[in-house]
Structure formats: C-alpha cells, structure tokens
Amino acid sequence: MKMSHRLGSSDTAGPVWGLVFGMFMTAIGIGLWFHATLSAPSGRQDESLAVAAVIVGLFSAVYAGRELFHKRR
C-alpha cells in the first residue's frame, strides 16, 4: 500500500484539534472576561477581546464537534 493512503486514514485528527482549540479559546475568553470585570479600571477593550475569544472558541468547538459526530456515523 502506498504511503499516501496511510496518511489519509487519520481523518479525525483535524476535528479533534479543532475541538481542543475551541475549548481552549473559550476558557481564555472566560478568564479574560473575569479579569476585565474584577479589575477596578475595566477597559472596554478587555471585555470586547474576551467576547471575541469566547465566540471564536464556541464556534470552532461546535463546528469540530459536528464534524466528529458526522464522521463517526
């Protein structure tokens, strides 16, 4: 069997890393949100960065989870 056929067999590696990345970005966003709300001079930039990180994390985690679910069926 050719090497290229063996390399293409790990199709679930991408969605798994996407799920890990999504969970990591969501945790970072939540941490930034708590830091922005608990600090005395809270800047609007910190809050918007936290919201953006949470949104990117949630979208990538949901998309990767959806891809994993459809690959296993």
What residues does each domain of the chain span? 22-72
Distance CA 57, CA 55 (A): 5
Distance CA 46, CA 38 (A): 11
The predicted pLDDT at position 56 comes to: 95
The predicted pLDDT at position 10 comes to: 59
- Tell me the whole-structure pTM to 2 decimals: 0.73
Spatial neighbors of 33 by CB under 8 A, at least 6 apart, are: 47, 50, 51, 54
Distance CA 73, CA 35 (A): 41
Q: What is the pLDDT of residues 22-59, one digit of tens each?
A: 999 999 999 988 888 887 676 667 788 999 999 999 99
Predicted confidence (pLDDT) at residue 6 exceeds the cutoff of 80: no
For residues 63 and 18, is the Cβ–Cβ distance under 8 A?
yes
